[in-house]
Structure 1
Amino acid sequence: MSNYFEFVSQELLIKLAQVKSYITKHNPTIGVLTEEIVRGFLKDHLPTLVSVEQGFIINAKGELSKQCDILVYDSLTYSPLYRVNDIVVIPAESVLAVIEVKTTINKNIFHKVIDYFKSFSYLPNAKTYLFIFNSSSIEKIGCYFHSYQHEGDYKLFDHDTFQYLPDEITGINESYHLCKDSVITDRDMIGYSSWFYEDSKGSEINALQHFYSSVRMTVDDYIEKNYRNINPQKPNSCSDLKLKSIFAIELFYM
């Protein structure tokens, strides 16, 4: 399975390279096609009970969200409230995952992504993901967090602002998958951690596999809770794998 996801990772990066080889001077189009690459991957691998599309979320007050690159939602119980071509408007209670896709990342883009995810704190079931094809190193991502300009005089994230950050951050080419976590060191911090595993053959479990496993687990947990007559086949967990190393980004004290 590890080799499979390594092949798929390379395939996704090749598809992106193909897009950029033909479309060299129109970044919005590159962005749209990059999102479609990830949507196609998820459509091929997630249970058919959910749909994977782009569009907007509307809450109980009738407020419309910012446009979402990828929405994973329960399409068995809920249908879009509105659709035009491949863009949908769906109710907040149907959403399982909101995924923001970036071709590349830098400090300014990362800070805009943090601001973007602030608007999704009201979602009852959803997890939020940042998916980056050509990412900065994991160390630079840590620097981007620490250079974020907070409102007012306070210069660090805290328990209130932490909830607005993406739940998980995946860097495909750098092969890391950061998850919100309690970072237990001699300072007991809250932040993100990336756990690096290998399988029984010594092959590294890459970032795409971690990303897929997380989205799939979110979907499967929702199915078990809401459709008790359906027993989804869950992907293998990391419990049978060998832990190689851990990287942590410390944001604030517990």
Structure 2
Amino acid sequence: MSQYFDHVSQQLHSKIAQAKVYIKKHNPTTGALAEAVLREFLQEHLPGAVSVEQGFIITSEGGLSRQCDILIYDSHRYAPFYRAGDVVVVPAESVIALIEVKTSIDKARFHEVITYFQSFASLQFQARTYLFMFNAPKLETVRSHFFTYEHPGSYKEFDHDTYQYLPDVITGLYPSYHLVKSYVTFDRDAMGYLSYFYEDQEGSAISALELFFLSVYSAVEQYIEAYSSSKLAPRSEHHKNKTAKGIAAIDLFPM
């Protein structure tokens, strides 16, 4: 599996790099290619009961989300309400995972992403949320972006209410890390993110990509099991010989 994911991560990066050679002044187009590359990868490697597309989420009360780069939803039990080409509108209850994709990101765009994920609060849907960055900032820079975010109102740092709307997982590919929301013990007991890698693969794209894929796959597994009488054999069973460990933390607010 390691050699396979090493090949896939290089393939993903190569496709984006090739696009940038020809499309230097059209960042939205380059971003669309990055999304398409990741959507294709997930569609090829997730169970057939789900679909991986771009589009919008709608609630039974008529609430409509902002556009989503990648939606993973239950296409076996739910059909889209609307489809125009490769863009769909799907019911909130069908959504399993939501992924925002960036080819690169600076402080202003990172802050826009935080606001983007907070916009889903009114939908009150149960889905795992991801930020995936192909050309990612360094982990120290991500930490700085969190602490320079301008909170609305008088309270100027994250708390339990605002933390729940941050992405559950943040994956960077180059440089590479895989951040997961977690309880962290750093200078204090706090809530924030832990950065995970497989042992002996710290900082590698293969480790980050594999952990990202397994996280998405586990979200799909949990959803399918919730609506099935049978027990699935987790995909993680094929990774028994690999141990993931947290090696860095982003401490956002005290417990």
TM-score by length of 1: 0.93
Paired residue secondary structure (2:219):
helix
Matched ranges for 1:114-193 at <5 A: 114-121=114-121, 122-193=123-194
Give the CA RMSD over aligned residues. Answer: 2.0
Cα deviations across residues 18-40 of structure 1 (Å, max 9, x unaligned)?
A: 11111121111111111101001
CA distance in structure 2 between the aligned counterparts of 1:202 and 1:154, rounded to whole angstroms = 36
Cα distance in structure 2, aligned partners of 1:202 and 1:115: 30
* Pairing 1:64-79 to 2, within 5 Å after superposition: 64-79=64-79
- Residue type of the alignment partner of 2:67: Q
**Aligned CA distance change for structure 1 residues 202 and 16 (closer, same or farther; 3 Å):** closer
Deviation at 1:187, TM superposition (A): 1.0
Instruction: Kindly state the Cα deviation for residue 161 of structure 1 after the two structures are TM-superposed.
Output: 0.4
Summarize deviations over 1:97-123 as a string: whole Å, max 9, x none.
Answer: 010000001100100000000122334
Distance in 2 between the 1:156 and 1:172 partners? 28
Looking at structure 1, the residues matched to 172 and 62 of structure 2 have their Cα atoms a distance apart, in angstroms, of: 34
3-state SS, counterpart of residue 174 of structure 2 = coil
Give the total of aligned pairs.
253
Structure 1 pair 221–67 and aligned structure 2 pair: CA distance change class (3 A) = same
**Residues 238-249 of structure 1 correspond to what in structure 2 (within 5 A)?**
240-242=241-243, 246-249=247-250
Note if contact 2:186-2:249 (Cα within 8 Å) is conserved in structure 1.
Answer: no
Residue 60 of structure 1, CA deviation: 1.8
Q: For residue 73 of structure 1, give the secondary structure of its aligned residue in structure 2.
A: strand
Stretch of structure 1 that moved more, 118-127 or 130-139? 118-127
Give the Cα–Cα distance (whole angstroms) in 1 for the partners of residues 167 and 239 of structure 2: 22
Moved more, 129-138 or 153-162: 153-162
Q: Is the 8 A contact 1:93 1:123 kept in 2?
A: no
Q: Which residue of 2 aligns with 1:3?
A: 3
Percent of aligned pairs with the same amino acid: 54
Q: Distance in 1 between matches of 2:124 and 2:212?
A: 20
What is the CA distance between 1:203 and its match in structure 2?
A: 11
For residues 3 and 117 of structure 1, the distance between their equivalents in structure 2, rounded to whole angstroms, comes to 33
Q: 2 CA distance for matches of 1:226 and 1:29?
A: 38
Unmatched 5+ residue regions in structure 1? none
Q: Confirm or deny that 1:15 pairs with 2:15.
A: yes
Deviation at 1:231, TM superposition (A): 3.1
The AA in structure 2 aligned to 1:80 is P
Q: Give 1:34's aligned residue.
A: 34
Which residue of structure 2 lines up, in the alignment, with residue 53 of structure 1?
53
What are the Cα deviations for residues 145-168 of structure 1, in whole angstroms up to 9, with x where unaligned? 000001122221000000110000
Deviations 1:155-199 (A, max 9, x none): 210000001100000001112000100002351011000122237
Q: TM-score, normalised by structure 2?
A: 0.93
Matched residues in 1 for 2:202 and 2:138: separation?
Answer: 23
Deviates more, 1:33-42 or 1:243-252: 243-252
CA contact (8 A) 1:35 1:101 kept: yes
18-27 vs 50-59, which moves further: 18-27
Provide the rounded CA distance (Å) in 2 between the counterparts of 1:187 and 1:203.
25
Q: Note if contact 1:95-1:123 (Cα within 8 Å) is conserved in structure 2.
A: no
Q: 1:123 to 1:213 in 2, by over 3 A?
A: farther
Quote the Cα distance in structure 2 between the aligned partners of 1:202 and 1:145.
23
Q: What CA deviation, in whole Å up to 9, does each residue of 1:218-253 have, x standing for no partner?
A: 001111111224735523477643456510000000
Q: Counterpart in 2 of 1:63?
A: 63
Residue of structure 1 equivalent to 2:100: 100
Distance in 1 (CA, whole Å) between partners of 2:203 and 2:33 is 30
